[in-house]
Amino acid sequence: MQGFLWQPEPRFPGSEVRGRQLLAGNLRLGGALIELKGQSPWDVTPPNDAFALALHGFDWLDDLAAIPDAGGRATAQAWLGAWLDRYGRGRGEGWSPDQTGRRQVRWITHALFLRNGQDPAEAQAFERTLGRQANYLAKRWHRTSPGLPRFEALTGLVYSACALIGLETHLNPALRGLAQECAREIDAQGGIPTRNPEELLEVFVLLTWVAQILQETGKRPDPAIDTAILRIAPTLRALRHADGSLVRAHGGGRGAPGRLIGALVQSGVRPSRMKGLAMGFARMASGRVTVIADAAPPMLGPASTNAHAGTLSFEMCSANYPLIVNAGSGASFGPDWRRAGRATLTHSTVSLAGYSSSRFAQRAGRAAPERQGFAEGPTDVSIQTSEVAGGEGIVLSHDGWRRTHGLVHLRSLTLEDHGNLLRGDDGLAALDGNDRTRFEHINRSLPYDVGLRFAARFHLHPDVVVELDMGGAAVSLTLPNEEVWVFRHGSEADLVLRPSVYFDAGRLKPRATKQIVLTSRIRGYGAAVSWSIARPSALLPAPDLPL
C-alpha cells in the first residue's frame, strides 16, 4: 500500500453516549460490560464471541468518533497503537477473515480521524497493516464461513481495493466472490438460509456499502450486488414491525435503532408491498398494528446452530410499542440462556408437554451449546391466507410433533376491525390413521383419563403492565402510552400468568417479564383453544368468547 486513493465517510453514525462511556473505561460490546480500570482493551479476556468480534472489528471506533470536537481521538489512537504493537504483524487474536474485513472498513472510513496528529511511526505502522490486512483478505476470505462472515470479509476487500493505492487489482476478484456469495446465500425472494432477520439486515447493509463506494469512486456498478439489494429490501420491509424494529427470530434481535431505516433509505429501493411469505414469515398489518408469524421450517443440521424452535410463533406490535414478543436470542447472556432462548417454551406459540417442536440430536448434550444444531423438526409447514372485513387472516400448520406424538399444530390468526382485534385459535390433532396409532401409543403411557398437556403461550414485552381481570377470565395489557388491550379466551383452557424473560442484547442481563399461558389437555384425537387480543372498543360478543 502506498497511500489513499479515496477516503470514504463513516457509513453508520456512532453514539456520543457510548463514546463517553468508553472514555470512562466502560467497554460495552456484544451484550457484555467490562470495566477497563486503566487497562488496555487488549489485556481483557472477551466474555463471549460477539464481544471479541466487536472488539477486534473496531466497532467502538464509531462511538469514539461521534464525540464532538474529536474528544475521542486520543483514546482511539492509543487503542489502535496498542493493537498494532500486539497484533499488527498478522498473528494472534483478531486475524480471522470476518474480523479483519470488519476492522478494515472501520479503519478506512475513519482514517482522517485516526491519522490527524498521529505519531509518524504509528502512521507508517497503520498504513502497513492496512496493506497486510488487504492481502490477508485476498488470500483467506474463502476460508471463512459462508453467509455473513464471508460478506464481511469481502466487503473489507472491496473497500481496500477502492480506497488504497496499489491494491486496485483486488477489486475484480472481490466482486466475483461477492457475486458468488449473493447467488449462493440470497434466494429469489431476498431471504437467506438461516432465516435470521437481523443477519439479513447486516448482509443488506454491507451490500449497500459496497454499492456506495463503487459509485463514489467511479467504478462500474455490479449487477449481482444491485440485484441482491433489490431482492432484500422488500423482504426487510415485510419483516419490520410498526415501531421500525425487526421480528426477533432464529438468533436475530430487533436491530440497532435507525439501522434498518437508514439502510433502506441508503439503498434507494422504492417501497413496495411483498406478496406471500418474506423469508418464511407471514405479515399482517392493519391500522397501526402489525402481526408477524414464523410460517416456515427452521434450518436443520449442522448449520442450524442459531435456529429457534419457534414455528408458528408470532409477535404483535401496536404503533411504537411491542405487545406480544418472543423471548429472543439469549446468546449474549451465556450458553444456558442461549439454549433456553431457542426452545419452543420461550416463543409465543403452542408447546407440547415441554417438548420443543424442533429438537437437538439425542447425544447433542456432549457438544457445546453454541455448536448444537437441530436434528429434527417441522418439515411440512403450510399457510393459507384470507381477506376479512377491515383486515386479513392466515391459517397455519406444522408437523413438528407428528413423528414423536402423531400430532399436527394448527393455528389461525385473524387481524380484524382495522387492527383493533386479533382473534386466534390453536389446535393439536391426529389427522390420519398412522397419526392416531402413534398418538394412542403415547397416551397409553399416561395416567388414565389425564390426557396429554399442551399450552398456548403469549410472552409480553417487559414494558407492558399486566393485570388479571374478570375474576381471572381476562388480562388487561397496558402499553407505555396508556393504550389498553384485553386478552380473553374461551372455556377450553385454564389461564394463568407466569414469569418469563426477554433477551435484549443492549442490556447486561435478561429482563424479567410475564407470559399468558392457556393450558389444556388432549382427549380423543385432538383439542383446541380460542383467544382474542383487542382494544376495549373492539370487544364484541362472540360464540367462543365469554362476555
Per-residue pLDDT tens digits of the chain, which is 547 residues long: 678 999 898 887 899 999 999 999 999 998 889 999 889 999 999 988 889 999 999 999 999 999 999 999 999 999 999 999 999 998 889 999 999 999 999 999 999 999 999 989 999 999 999 999 999 999 999 999 999 999 999 999 999 999 999 999 999 999 999 999 999 999 999 999 999 999 999 999 999 999 999 999 999 999 999 999 999 999 999 999 999 999 999 999 999 888 999 999 989 898 887 888 999 999 999 999 999 999 999 999 988 999 999 999 999 999 999 999 999 999 888 889 999 999 999 999 999 987 899 998 765 445 555 678 999 999 999 999 988 877 899 999 999 999 999 999 999 999 999 999 999 999 999 999 999 999 998 888 776 666 789 999 999 999 999 999 887 789 999 999 999 999 999 988 999 999 999 999 888 899 999 999 999 999 889 999 999 999 987 554 443 433 3
Q: In this predicted structure, what is the pLDDT of residue 369?
A: 55
Enter the C-alpha cell of residue 260: 434498518
Cell match 472498513: residue? 105
44 contact partners, CB below 8 Å, separation of at least 6: 27, 34, 36
CB of 490 within 8 A of CB of 546? Answer: yes
Radius of gyration of the chain measured on its C-alpha atoms:
25
Q: In this predicted structure, what is the pLDDT of residue 544?
A: 42
456 contact partners, CB below 8 Å, separation of at least 6: 349, 350, 426, 493, 517, 518, 529, 531
Q: In this predicted structure, what is the pLDDT of residue 323?
A: 98
Query: What is the C-alpha separation between 126 and 78, in angstroms, rounded?
Result: 12
229 contact partners, CB below 8 Å, separation of at least 6: 204, 207, 208, 211, 267, 269
CB of 50 within 8 A of CB of 30? Answer: yes
Q: What is the DSSP string of 443-512?
A: HHTSPTTT-EEEEEEEEEPTTSEEEEEGGGTEEEEE-TTS-EEEEEE-TTSEEEEEEEEE--TTSSSPEE
Helix (H, G, I), strand (E, B) or coil at 221: coil
Helix (H, G, I), strand (E, B) or coil at 7: coil
Query: How far, in Å, are 157, 472, 535, 536, 540 from residue 488 at the CA level?
Result: 55, 10, 11, 11, 11
How is the beta sheet containing 421-429 ordered, strand by strand?
381-388, 391-401, 407-416, 421-429, 526-534, 484-489, 474-478, 465-469
Query: What is the C-alpha separation between 137 and 110, in angstroms, rounded?
Result: 19
Percent of the residues in the chain that have a pLDDT greater than 90, as a whole number: 78
CB of 538 within 8 A of CB of 485? Answer: no
Query: What is the C-alpha separation between 252 and 280, in angstroms, rounded?
Result: 14
| Count of C-beta atoms within a 10 Å radius of residue 37 | 7
- DSSP one-letter code for 43: G
Helix (H, G, I), strand (E, B) or coil at 426: strand
Any bridge partners for residue 468, and if so which?
475
Q: In this predicted structure, what is the pLDDT of residue 363?
A: 59
Q: In this predicted structure, what is the pLDDT of residue 470?
A: 82
Residue 34: its H or E element: strand 32-35
**Phi/psi of residue 166, each to 5°?**
90, -5
375 contact partners, CB below 8 Å, separation of at least 6: 300, 301, 359, 360, 361, 362, 364
Q: What is the mean pLDDT of the chain?
A: 92
Query: What is the C-alpha separation between 57 and 176, in angstroms, rounded?
Result: 24
Please tell me the pTM assigned to this model. 0.93
CB of 395 within 8 A of CB of 412? Answer: yes
Give the relative orientation of helices 148-163 and 197-216 as an angle to the nearest 10 degrees: 10
Which 3-state string (H, E, C) describes 398-411?
A: EEEEHHHHCEEEEE
Query: What is the C-alpha separation between 455 and 345, in angstroms, rounded?
Result: 9
Cell match 375474576: residue? 471
Query: What is the C-alpha separation between 404 and 425, in angstroms, rounded?
Result: 23
| Strands (E) located in 61-134 | none
Any bridge partners for residue 511, and if so which?
502
